[in-house]
Every structure is written in C-alpha cells, then in structure tokens.
Structure 1
Amino acid sequence: MNANNDIEQKLRISSERQRFAVGIVGGPTTVIDVAGRRIVIDPTFDPPGVKGYLKKTEGPAVSAVELGKVDVVLVSHDQHPDNLDERGRTFARSAPLVLTGPSAAERLGLPARALKPWESFELPGTPALRVQAVPAVHGPADGNRDEKGFINTEVTGFVLSGQSLPTIYLSGDNASLDVVSQIAERWTSIDVAVLFAGAARVPTKERARPLTLTSARAAAAAELLDARVVIPSHYRGWAHFTEGEGDLRAAFDDAGFSHVLHIGEMGQWIQGLE
C-alpha cells in the first residue's frame, strides 16, 4: 500500500462513526473507529492555559460533546495533564469502560479496569476486538526510577487486534526503542502505529532529555515495527513538545520511511488505512 497516495483525509471527526479511521483531536488525544467500536486514548479537552508546570498552547480541534458516545477510553497514564486533564477525566469516567495500567486504575476508580503489560481484554461484540496492554518507558533508559521501577511514572501502551481486523499500536508516552523491539517480536507486522512523538522535555526532569520519542526514534520505531502506516500524535499543542511536523517529516525522509508517514490535520479523520 502506498500510504501517501491511498490515504484520504476529508471528513471532520464527529459522532458519526467510520468503518475504520483514525483522527487526532489534539496533543495525544486520538480517536479510533474500528470493528464497530469507538476508542479514545488519553482524552484532553481543557482549553489552552497553564496546567501546573506545563503550558497548553492549543485547545482540542473537536469537543467531547462532538465525539458523542464512545465504547472504551484508553489511558496511558493519569498523572500528567498533557495526557489526562480535568475535562478528559470527566469524559473518561462517563465512558462504559476505561482500560489503563494498575496504578492509574487504582487512582481513577470505576469504570477503570487494570491491565498489566501483556495482559489483554476482549471488548464485547462482533467481531471480537482485543486490547492488549504493552510496556512503555516515559524517559531515557538510565532515568531515575521510582519505588515501583518506573521512569517518571507508570505508562501503558496498547495494541488493538482481532481476526480479519487491522493491528493498531498506540505507543503512549514511550521513549524506548527496546520496548518497541519487544512489541515487534510479539507482533510480526503492525498495520497502523500511532506514535506519541514530540520529544517532550521538561527542564526539571531527566536533565531535560526527551521523555517521549524524538522524530528520529519515531522513524526507527516505524522500521522496527514494519508498520504500514505511521500516524504521529503528541507533537503539538503543548510548550514542552520540542519537535514538530517538520522534524518528523525530515527524520522519516532521512530514514527512507516517508512513504509510511501520514500526518493528519487536527480534528479530521484519516481514512483509507486498510
């Protein structure tokens, strides 16, 4: 498949569901319509402004109301406002189901369900759609670890899959190519990879080294995963995101993988992914 030629982007994200499409709402917030379900990861719907030690520079391209009902919300982690803000929490808690890591599930309470790395949950319905939690490392490999062994905080990525369905990887705030290699070993091919990029840097954390994928590492991840389509998120909308669209395009071109990269307009569906 030639991603640049075949993929279409023309519809604004709304409550109307698509057969299979992915759309970026803003920051990390991504909507996936697949197998009759609507899935949202890391909802952030607050307006721009200062959020503790972070600054949000853009509001969401689509409101929570416009999205309508969802089947499941995935939360990569709950302790950073650029991945789950106040309106995002309200949105998540109004969903029938939230899937997240054990620590986040304990803090969020119902309807959150905990998944440890490599554990899976099958969403009810036909066809069956499986959500598998996968590891993520929120910072450099030699970063400071907390009492549970996490760098920065516990973070969970996800893989969506099912018989005759596309396989979709959602990285969450992961900076580790070793983690990507582990996922590639378990999944021989990823159809669509939504990679949280942006090279997020915070001066007070890890000597301001990247806490998420740099553009170069995102391109390397695409190669490791043998991904047919890569959709970046988490690269605009916050002041601590230090690499943007131009950096992503340059890095994928340098690596020879520009043909799999698709950067969507915020608030619009990316279609033609099958």
Structure 2
Amino acid sequence: MSSRESASVPVTSERLAFGVAVVGGPTTVIDVAGHRLVCDPTLDPPTDYGYLRKLVGPAVDEGAIGNADVVLVSHDLHPDNLDVAGREFALRAPVLLAPPTAARRLGQPSTPLDPWSTWEAPDGRLRVTGVPARHGPADAELNDEGFVNCEVIGFVIEADGSPTTYVSGDNASLEIVREIRERIGAIDCAVLFAGSASVPARFGGRPLTLTAERAAAAAEVLGSPRVVVAHQQGWGHFTQGAEDTRAAFLAAGIADRLCDAPLGHWCLPVT
C-alpha cells in the first residue's frame, strides 16, 4: 500500500466500502461494512496542555469526518489521544468503546471493552474486539491500578467480506503484538501508533509507544500486507516522524506495505 498503490483521495463524509485515513496525531477514520469508526479523536487546534503540546490541528475538519457510528478510545487520560473537542465528538457518538477505567470516567454512551472481549453491532455486520496494549517499557513500574502509565487497549475490527484491521493504540510491546497475531490470526491491515513518544518524567524518557524500527518489526510479526502508521505527527513529544518510519520500513525490506497517503487522505486497499 505504497504511495503508488493508494489513490490520494481526501476524506469526506461519504463512506467507502473499506478505507483507513489518519487525520492527525493518532486520529484515524476507518470505513468498513457501511460503518464509520473514528479512533482517538484529537480535534483541538494547536494547544499547550502544560506537559504536552499540540503543534498542528487535524488535517480535515469535523464536517469532513461527519458522524461516527462508533468511536474507539484507546485511553482517555492523555490529550494527545483524546483532547477537548475530541471528547465532545466521542460523547456524541451512538457507540463509544473504551477500556473499563476510561468508560467509567467518560460516562454515557461509553461501553467498557476488556482485552479479548468483543462488541458486535446490532446489524451483526461489524465486530470490534479489545486487545491488550502496554503504554511504556516492559520493565516499567505499574501504577496503583496495575497498568503501565494508564489502562490502554487496542482494537481488532472485523466484518464479513472486509479486511481484518488492527489498531494498536499506544502500545510499545512487540510481545503483545505477537500474542495478538497468535490469538487473532491474519491481520490484513495494521494501524500502528508510533512516533517514539517520550516524556522525560516518565520511565527515564524511554519510548511510550512504538519506535519507527519497532513499528516495522510489528508489521513483520503481524504479517500485514497493508500498514498505516499514525501517532507520529503534530505533537511536541513525538520524537520520530514519517521520514523515520519510511526509513525503518525500507531497511526492513517492507516499504511496499506502508501507506504514504497524506494526512486527511484515504489509504485504499490494493486492488
């Protein structure tokens, strides 16, 4: 799914049979089986949140995103994954899936989704399974709730006749990626949050998300023929960007799997 294979089609409210688009930061629009899903909406303009700083706003406005059928929130405590406007957007959705601690804080219409539990759309055409994520190094100290940094989940999205799509959330663990591949099976499209996010006060400044190199390794573990990398542009604590990702995938010999569509444009499946 290189730039040669993906048409540069901007995101609009018109839905595709299948498509994935990153609109800024981690915020990803996924169309599948007649449903529009939006993951980790961050829709504020550039903002200084104190310990995190947003440098640019989303590549498209809310009008282009339109109404989401399902909003996926990997975690709610960090503004680079759910900011003020993104929270308002999420709470307007008819379905909001989030890890249990986040669902309690967000309130209605949140539905808690534990790792390895599955939500199914009323029409039976869409299934979303929560999968584990670790928001930091393997040896990081756990917080009072038993999580690294905070509770985070990823998502596997499935629908009959559509590609199976994995959205990593802020996961830094290749061990977890390997477990997901073993339990779920083939992942047709991987949406990986990378950027090597780093905050000096957390775990000695070590990466809280995938580095570019570990994103390429995750793509190999998953065996995904289509890879979309999000969470690598637009925030001050992202220490690697799209050029680093391209270089890592080229070094691994899998550059042809990587979607190079601009922000706010669809990565379309190869036909």
TM-score normalised by the shorter chain: which range applies? over 0.9
Which segments of 5 or more consecutive residues in structure 2 lack a partner in the other structure?
none
Secondary structure of 1:259 counterpart: helix
Q: Map 1:59-70; keep pairs closer than 5 Å.
A: 59-70=57-68
What per-residue deviation string (whole Å, max 9, x for no partner) do you get for residues 83-134 of structure 1? 00000000000000100100000000000000110000011226x2110000
Q: Map 1:116-127; keep pairs closer than 5 Å.
A: 116-125=114-123
Aligned to 1:163: 160
1:216 partner amino acid:
E
- Is the contact made by 1:21 and 1:273 (CA closer than 8 Å) also made in structure 2? no
**Do residues 101 (structure 1) and 99 (structure 2) align?**
yes
- Is the contact made by 2:8 and 2:266 (CA closer than 8 Å) also made in structure 1? yes
Among 237, 240, 243, which residue is 1:246 paired with?
A: 243
**Do residues 175 (structure 1) and 167 (structure 2) align?**
no
What per-residue deviation string (whole Å, max 9, x for no partner) do you get for residues 5-32 of structure 1? 7632322111111111111110000000
What per-residue deviation string (whole Å, max 9, x for no partner) do you get for residues 161-207 of structure 1? 13322100000000000100110101221110000000000011110
TM-score normalised over the length of structure 2: 0.97
TM-score normalised over the length of structure 1: 0.96
How large is the Cα RMSD of the aligned pairs? 1.2
User: Percent of pairs identical after alignment?
Assistant: 53
Aligned to 1:31: 29
2:208 partner amino acid:
L
- Is the contact made by 1:196 and 1:213 (CA closer than 8 Å) also made in structure 2? yes
Supply the distance in 1 between the matched residues of 2:162 and 2:86 (Cα, whole angstroms): 28
Structure 1 residue ranges (4+ consecutive) displaced by more than 6 angstroms after TM superposition: none
Supply the distance in 2 between the matched residues of 1:81 and 1:164 (Cα, whole angstroms): 35
Supply the distance in 1 between the matched residues of 2:90 and 2:160 (Cα, whole angstroms): 27
Aligned to 2:138: 141
Shift of 1:273: 4.4
Aligned to 1:259: 256
1:88 partner amino acid:
G
Structure 1, 245-254 or 36-45: larger mean CA deviation: 245-254
Which segments of 5 or more consecutive residues in structure 1 lack a partner in the other structure?
none
